[in-house]
């Protein structure tokens, strides 16, 4: 079994600032939190940007540049930049980070889904920033758009910049989309699949759902033609991580996906969530990958080839 690659998803766009005072918002906070997560054992950090003044999801290259250069100055961690951004951005805005920064990795969302956040309105009554309440309400009508036209665009720019796409699989049909693009010669194995489980609008985070996605990927691609990782959104995080460590997959944790370190107790940092996975890996007898191990396992181009 390969060493375990832990990805830390630092801030995202779905977690709103009022959900946790520990969510990093400014470029400095996001970079510091990523560096700390890397020191705790994350081999990859997944990066979104936010407007420093109010934490609203940002696609501004200046915000990304500040975050990426600060991380690179302090750490050799692999940086996987989002092209998912938020459902309020156009695909062109979301994907601009790839030609601009030519990162080693980027997310590549493999299908359109409803991406609903409105259930947080049931328990969240006070908001830190004016945009947050409307953002949750509007998500009831959000479609997170990732069409075949968008796939073509992302295939072109990831290939042109030698950026390894992390294929975000929110449901089983998304595996068939990968297969379709591969059959057209637009994507080549080995694929790196990220099973995103527990978003309201897509597959849930149950054990049988993970087994099903994994089995279907093996059937479609063959066991040697893909690596995989899992995101358990919310409460599913630790259970699905345990399964993935045991099954030879990799794990993503972080405040983008889950704000709790244990039942009802907020995680104080991304590093704390990473440390929990490091302990779990140790208990289950799996070694944790360094950034150099992750580059070898995933076949990445190297930090000297990025443009920041």
Chain residues that interact with Zn ion, rule: CB under 5 A: 12, 82, 84
Choosing from 7, 11, 26, 82, the residue that interacts with ligand KMH (CB under 6 A) is 82
Burial letters 83-120, b for 16+ CB under 10 A, else e: bbbbbebebebbbbbbebbbbbbbbbbbbbbbbbbeeb
Choosing from 11, 59, 83, 258, the residue that interacts with ligand KMH (CB under 6 A) is 83
- Minimum CB distance to ligand KMH smaller for 236 or for 297: 236
For Zn ion, the nearest residue by Cβ is 82
Nearest distance in Å: CB 60, ligand KMH: 16
- CA 171 remoteness from chain centre: 15
Any contact of residue 157 with ligand KMH (CB under 6 A)? Answer: no
The helix/strand/coil state of 26 is coil
Tokens found for residue 186: 């637009």
Closest CA to 249 of 226, 269, 268, 233: 226
Give the angle 302-52-273 at the CA atoms, nearest 5°.
60
- Minimum CB distance to ligand KMH smaller for 47 or for 306: 47
Q: State the CB neighbour count (10 A cutoff) for residue 185.
A: 8
The residues in 214-233 that bind ligand KMH, with binding defined as CB under 6 A, are 233
- Minimum CB distance to Zn ion smaller for 84 or for 249: 84
The residues in 90-109 that bind ligand KMH, with binding defined as CB under 6 A, are 107, 109
106: β partners: 81, 165
Which of Zn ion, ligand KMH, none is residue 14 near (CB under 5 to 8 Å by kind)?
ligand KMH
- Minimum CB distance to ligand KMH smaller for 120 or for 286: 120
Beta carbons of 23 and 259 less than 8 angstroms apart = yes
Nearest distance in Å: CB 123, ligand KMH: 20
Which of ligand KMH, Zn ion, none is residue 68 near (CB under 5 to 8 Å by kind)?
none
Any contact of residue 11 with ligand KMH (CB under 6 A)? Answer: no
Any contact of residue 196 with ligand KMH (CB under 6 A)? Answer: yes
The residues in 234-293 that bind ligand KMH, with binding defined as CB under 6 A, are 256-257
Report the C-alpha gap between 109 and 105 in whole angstroms. Answer: 13
How big is the chain by its Cα radius of gyration, in Å?
A: 18
Run of H or E including 133: helix 131-138
- Minimum CB distance to Zn ion smaller for 17 or for 84: 84
The footprint of ligand KMH (CB under 6 A) covers 9, 12, 14, 82-84, 107, 109, 168, 196, 199, 233, 256-257
């Amino acid at each position: 079994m390969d060493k375990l690659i832990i990805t830390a998803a630092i801030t995202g766009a779905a977690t709103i600032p009022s959900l946790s005072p520990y969510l990093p918002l400014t470029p400095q906070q996001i970079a510091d939190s990523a560096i700390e997560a890397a020191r705790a054992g994350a081999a990859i950090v997944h990066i979104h940007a936010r407007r420093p003044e109010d934490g609203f999801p940002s696609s501004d290259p200046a915000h990304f540049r500040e975050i990426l250069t600060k991380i690179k100055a302090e750490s050799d961690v692999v940086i996987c930049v989002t092209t998912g951004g938020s459902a309020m951005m156009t695909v062109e805005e979301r994907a601009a980070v790839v030609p601009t920064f030519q990162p080693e990795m980027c997310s590549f969302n493999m299908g359109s889904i409803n991406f609903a956040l409105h259930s947080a309105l049931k328990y969240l009554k006070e908001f830190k920033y004016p945009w947050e309440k409307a953002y949750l309400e509007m998500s009831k009508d959000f479609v997170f758009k990732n069409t075949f036209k968008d796939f073509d665009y992302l295939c072109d720019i990831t290939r042109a910049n030698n950026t390894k796409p992390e294929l975000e699989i929110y449901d089983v049909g998304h595996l068939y989309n990968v297969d379709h693009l591969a059959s057209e010669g637009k994507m080549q194995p080995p694929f790196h699949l990220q099973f995103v489980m527990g978003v309201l609008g897509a597959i849930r985070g149950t054990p049988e759902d993970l087994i099903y996605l994994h089995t279907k990927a093996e059937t479609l691609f063959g066991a040697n033609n893909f690596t995989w990782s899992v995101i358990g959104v919310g409460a599913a995080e630790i259970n699905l991580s345990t399964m993935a460590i045991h099954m030879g997959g990799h794990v993503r944790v972080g405040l983008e996906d889950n704000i709790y370190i244990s039942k009802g107790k907020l995680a104080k940092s991304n590093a704390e969530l990473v440390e929990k996975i490091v302990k779990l890996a140790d208990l289950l007898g799996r070694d944790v990958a360094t950034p150099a191990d992750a580059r070898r396992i995933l076949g990445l181009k190297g930090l000297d080839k990025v443009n920041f």
